[in-house]
A and B are shown apart, each in its own frame.
Chain A
Amino acid sequence: MNGMIPGGWNFVVAAYSLTAIVLTIYGVSVIVRLRNEVRRNDE
């Protein structure tokens, strides 16, 4: 025992994965909405 929290990699992986998922989904949603809006404007 040295006072350091043991393990914890599962929490680290969860936080990084969640960050990647949220930023990717939001980025894709922005690009899709932009394309739809550009198409609507062109019509």
Chain B
Amino acid sequence: MKTLHADNNRFPRLPWILLVLGVICLAIGTYIGLFVAPPEMLMGQVQRIMYVHVPTAWNALLALTFAFVCAVMFLFRSDWKWDARMEASIEVGVVLGFLLCCQGSIWAKPTWGVWWDWDPRLTTTAVLIFAFLGILALRKFVEDPVRRAIWSAVATIIASVDVPIVYYSVRWWNSLHQLQSSPSTVSRQFWLPLRMNAFGILFLMTAFIMLRARIASMRLKHELAPPPGVAS
């Protein structure tokens, strides 16, 4: 195993800059989404939820895809910094996934008439969140850092199979959920708030992953340090 790469702290100021940028983008995107963009033809005001729901979905899937990359990198390179990054991206992905389901639920009530439906998109998303939540639980219960890292990397690779399934579920199965929203599928007037919030959450997500990876690296350093009294 390689040593910790400077506590995942190569760019110490970058996450703080990203945090500020993220908040600014979200503030502008939210203002435009709530007060400037027109209501949608059929969903009316309720459609404004799209400006936070869709960016949250993109970034949740992005965070969990990055966790997959970290897991593969850890298994190939045996470098602890990838284990710390994997833990960070899973946690952030689960938080965004939870937020995604809550926002979706709030949007579903006035449009579908129910808070939740066992439709393919919702079901695969729930499976994804619980699978990664299980990996976080696994990391809590395994004390040996080497076993913990290897087991959670393998589990992450297996759980990541669900990421493309979530994305394509609306195309593969007859789903109550609408097809993926993107600037090419929505009206031009909706682009700006959608993009601003997407960048806002992207910046926040990146900052959270960088800061959380620092925490994980410092904990690992503590765990891997020789006990006091043992000369190095």
Contact = CB atoms under 8 A, between A and B. Distances in A.
Main secondary structure of the interface of A (DSSP, over half): helix
Interface string B161-201: 00000000000000000000000000000000000000000
Nearest to A38: B218
Kindly name the residue among A9, A19, A40 whose own CB sees the greatest number of chain B CB atoms within 10 A: A19
A5 to B, nearest CB: 5
B208 A30 contact: yes
Interface string B4-40: 0000000000000001000000000010001000010
A25 to B, nearest CB: 9
Interface in A12-28: 12, 14-16, 18-19, 22-23, 26-27
Given A15-B106, A27-B19, A34-B211, A5 B111 contact: yes
Interface stretch (B94-102, B124-132, B143-151): B94-102
A27 B52 CA distance: 17
B77 interface: no
Contacts of A26: 92, 95, 208
B106 A27 contact: no
A19 B59 CA distance: 13
What secondary structure prevails in chain B residues at the interface with A? helix
B208 A27 contact: yes
Contact of A12 (B45, B102, B208, B215): B45
B56 A19 contact: yes
Nearest to B106: A15
B80 interface: no
Interface of B: 19, 30, 34, 39, 41-46, 48-49, 52-53, 56, 92, 95, 98-99, 102-103, 106-107, 109-111, 204, 208, 211-212, 214-215, 218-219, 221-222
